[in-house]
Structure 1
Amino acid sequence: MASPMSSWTAFFDLPIEQKEKYANDQASGKIQGYGSKLANNASGQLEWEDYFFHLVYPEDKRDLSIWPQTPADYIEATAEYAKELRALATKVLRVLSLGLGLEEGRLEKEVGGLEELLLQMKINYYPLCPQPELALGVEAHTDVSALTFILHNMVPGLQLFYEGKWVTAKCVPNSIIMHIGDTIEILSNGKYKSILHRGMVNKEKVRISWAVFCEPPKEKIILKPLPETVSETEPPIFPPRTFAEHIQHKLFRKSQEALLNK
């Protein structure tokens, strides 16, 4: 399939009044749609990004009414990309299952299977930043997802915390970045690690990334270490929680950190 990145980028070139037609409203629980961040994070730095967030798979759970109608090929290009990425997620989950000594379909089943694993896409648009040393695109965090897939516009900025320092991911043409999120770390009892990462901004180039988060249904799946990953010498290191409870746990921790940093 052709790359849908040009279609996704075109949305952010629209006049602000057109983009705001798709604005989200997180205060009322409407998280899908267009948004903008310009606020201090827990570390006191500015977050500097526009974004568009929406569920892209399964098809029967999408809300096309909040998908951009402009550019004209946005819906078709995004739907086709989501279908291809869902097939890739199955392949990756099979390999990760085998790496734990499990049947190849086990992890996919544990995160919702073909019917209920959700693909949520967040397009991150980082405008030129005159003082990048004072801002971050996205503050340091781990993803709550099972897997995260990332495309980018070849402008460096994704950083991973590795061996005690921040390392900038290389921009490899025609590649997709994949990393493991909290869900797989929990199911594997820490044998697979959810990577701490952040997004940097640039004063010379606009940076854009397209992240797709593969997430289990919020209330139906209990996340806890699989029995096969636990032993007397390796007891469970995570308590049982639904995916929704895990998200709330992380939000609570973040709010506590913010209070401590005031």
Structure 2
Amino acid sequence: MEKLVSSWFNNKTLPQSYIFPPETRPGNHVIPRCNTIPVVDLSKALAHERTAVVQQILEASQEFGFFQVINHGVSENLVNDTMNVFKEFFELPSEDKAGIYSEDLKRPCRLYTSSPNYNREKVHLWRDSLRLPCHPLKECIKIWPQKPTRYKEIVAAYSIEAKKLGLRILELLSEGFGLGSGFFGDKLSESAVLLLNHYPPCPDPSLTLGVSKHCDPNLLTILLQGDVYGLQVLKDGEWIGVEPLHNAFVVNIGHQLEIISNNKLKSAEHRAVTNLKVARTTAAFFINPSDDCIIEPAKSLIGTDESPVYRAFEFKEFLLNYINMEGNFEKSVEPFKLHG
């Protein structure tokens, strides 16, 4: 528990173990907050503009690997209650969080700091994280935190809605590619994990990171980033900031969607920067294949003049390599590429 940033950060200078090398730290230069990150109005997909929405999602997933969704069907009250209860959790006294803190990587629900590789890291991340498995929900909820008292009720309702939203977006992507209804159902989207990240105010945001550059290893991520800026996406070699929008979700394409699309979709590298004055709390809902799900490029997406870029593999094989490679983009996918 004493390793948690939130337990010791007050009135401290930035420890050396949190200072990133010059080439990877954010520095003092201003990153533009990009208004060109596509914003998709999902309510239009229910009407005569469905085809246009599908095309907008496809284009955003190909060019950016990121987009935001509004009018998504998740009630604003639930979104607000969820974010409030997440913040309440991280503000709990240490004794109320001690029972869920763990450095055991095999423990499915746990509070930890920096990353699962804390003891192997050269530099630590300025964040505390709570990992919550969400499938099957009736079983997972039993091991969730007991406090705050509303926690289980609100987060259970939220996880159901986040999964519905993710499946809806996957269905629109499937439609756009002509893969047929339900292509991303069953094992491809069976598992779900909620990762809460809490970034306390940082004494020098120019020297450290909340999350270092990476791509998500899963299928699709639904991110509730709240109203505090911190998300940056790498596009064409330049970092751009993703402006928080009221009652919106950020959607990003995971490695598995890139592979299934045979590189037609883009899993974009992204990172989180810290803030000097206020804390930032976010919730990433990861939709994952089941461990034994076979991942490979969809045959109908491989043109007559091209070959599959990747071999078939089980998702758990990819995930193990991703963890061992500490999320490195090229090293994570290299063993699964077909060459020649």
Please name the residue that 2:131 is paired with: 53
CA gap of 1:134–1:45, structure 2 versus 1, over 3 A, is farther
Looking at structure 1, the residues matched to 127 and 317 of structure 2 have their Cα atoms a distance apart, in angstroms, of 27
Q: CA deviation at 1:40?
A: 9.3
Contact 2:295 2:312 in 1 (8 A): yes
CA gap of 1:60–1:85, structure 2 versus 1, over 3 A, is same
Alignment match of 2:94 (pick from 6, 16, 20): 16
Contact 1:149 1:176 in 2 (8 A): yes
Please name the residue that 1:91 is paired with: 168
Looking at structure 2, the residues matched to 253 and 54 of structure 1 have their Cα atoms a distance apart, in angstroms, of 23
SS in 1 for 2:184: helix
Q: CA deviation at 1:254?
A: 3.6
RMSD (CA atoms):
2.2
SS in 2 for 1:132: coil
Query: Is the counterpart of residue 241 in structure 1 residue 318 in structure 2?
Result: no
Q: CA deviation at 1:249?
A: 2.3
Contact 2:171 2:181 in 1 (8 A): yes
Contact 2:113 2:128 in 1 (8 A): yes
Please name the residue that 2:264 is paired with: 191
CA gap of 1:10–1:255, structure 2 versus 1, over 3 A, is closer
Aligned residue pairs: how many? 249
Looking at structure 1, the residues matched to 210 and 255 of structure 2 have their Cα atoms a distance apart, in angstroms, of 21
SS in 1 for 2:114: strand
Paired residue type of 2:250: I
Paired residue type of 1:235: S
Looking at structure 2, the residues matched to 127 and 101 of structure 1 have their Cα atoms a distance apart, in angstroms, of 44
Contact 1:7 1:71 in 2 (8 A): yes
Looking at structure 2, the residues matched to 222 and 179 of structure 1 have their Cα atoms a distance apart, in angstroms, of 21
TM-score w.r.t. structure 2 length?
Answer: 0.68
Alignment match of 1:34 (pick from 111, 116, 121): 111
5+ residue gaps, structure 2, are 1-74, 330-340
Q: CA deviation at 1:232?
A: 3.9
Larger Rg: 2
CA gap of 1:109–1:192, structure 2 versus 1, over 3 A, is farther
Alignment match of 2:156 (pick from 62, 70, 79): 79
Contact 1:57 1:83 in 2 (8 A): no
Query: Is the counterpart of residue 136 in structure 1 residue 213 in structure 2?
Result: no
SS in 2 for 1:83: helix
Whichever structure has more strand as a proportion of its residues is: 1
Q: CA deviation at 1:174?
A: 1.0
CA gap of 1:141–1:32, structure 2 versus 1, over 3 A, is same
SS in 2 for 1:78: helix
SS in 2 for 1:208: strand
Q: CA deviation at 1:153?
A: 2.6
Contact 1:45 1:134 in 2 (8 A): no
Query: Is the counterpart of residue 70 in structure 1 residue 142 in structure 2?
Result: no
Q: CA deviation at 1:168?
A: 0.7
Paired residue type of 2:86: W
Query: Is the counterpart of residue 223 in structure 1 residue 286 in structure 2?
Result: no
Alignment match of 2:230 (pick from 157, 182, 196): 157
